[in-house]
Amino acid sequence: MPMLDFILPALVMIGGFWKTPVALVVIALGSAYLSGKAVEVIPFTRRIIERREAREAERG
């Protein structure tokens, strides 16, 4: 039960966020920023981006 005491208030707060469009926009912008940073950090995706940039540099 101690775990539920920690999780339930967080779920209630998250439920309140879904009711306001401003909070949804802030959450969407934050998640877009963090996902962009994650793509840069993950080596596999970084290699894909570097290959794409190298191809574009060769073309023009």
CA angle 23, 14, 30 (to 5 degrees): 45
The total domain count for the chain is: 1
pTM of the model: 0.48
According to DSSP, residue 18 is labeled T
According to DSSP, residue 42 is labeled S
pLDDT tens, residue by residue, 3-60: 778 888 887 777 777 777 887 788 889 999 998 888 878 888 888 888 999 999 998 7
Domain that holds residue 31: 21-60
Closest residue by Cα to residue 18 from 33, 29, 28, 9: 28
In a domain, 29, yes or no: yes
In a domain, 13, yes or no: no
